[in-house]
A = this chain, B = another copy of it.
Amino acid sequence: MGEQVFNITELAQEFDITTRAIRFYEDQGLLEPERAGQRRIYNRRDRVRLMLILRGKRIGLSLQEIRELFALYDAAHDDAPQLQEFIRILERKELQLLTQMEDIKVVLTEIGQLRGQCEKALGKRANGHNQVKEL
């Protein structure tokens, strides 16, 4: 019943990234897996961290920002000034993300319009709904 663990290639395959990337995240202080000798061993918590890293990247955070958030979150539980700082960062991020979502909505709308125009130009019927994968 030992905790479930993973090695580096398993994680790399699961998340479709390279082992190099994972080691790089460790260099940057984003992961601290156990070692068995010199081999890295990742537990479920490490795996969650990796997921957070990748999601952070997808929404446009730099590795440094991700590290700062991790660090602040870790430190924040017992230090009031840190908590205040953490809240400020979160609020800034929240505003950025809301802007980003607005941008995305605009672009999605435009994409829809452009696709409509294209299909019209191709003589297709805009038959109500355009199935996204019919090519």
Size of chain A's interface in residues, with CB distance under 8 A? 42
A129 within 8 A of B: no
Q: How many copies does the complex hold?
A: 2
| A103 partner residues in chain B, CB cutoff 8 A | 55, 58-59
Cross-chain contact A135 with B88 (CB below 8 angstroms)? yes
With A87-B115, A118-B87, A133-B91 already in contact, the answer to whether A101 and B98 are too (CB < 8 A) is: no
Interface residues of A in 81-135 (CB under 8 A from B): 83-84, 86-88, 90-91, 93-95, 97-101, 103-108, 111-112, 114-115, 118-119, 121-122, 130, 132-133, 135
A39 vs B118: C-alpha distance in the bound complex, in angstroms?
37
Q: Most chain-B Cβ atoms within 10 A of its Cβ — which of A55, A59, A95?
A: A59
Binding site for B on A (CB under 8 A): 55-56, 58-60, 73, 76-77, 80, 83-84, 86-88, 90-91, 93-95, 97-101, 103-108, 111-112, 114-115, 118-119, 121-122, 130, 132-133, 135
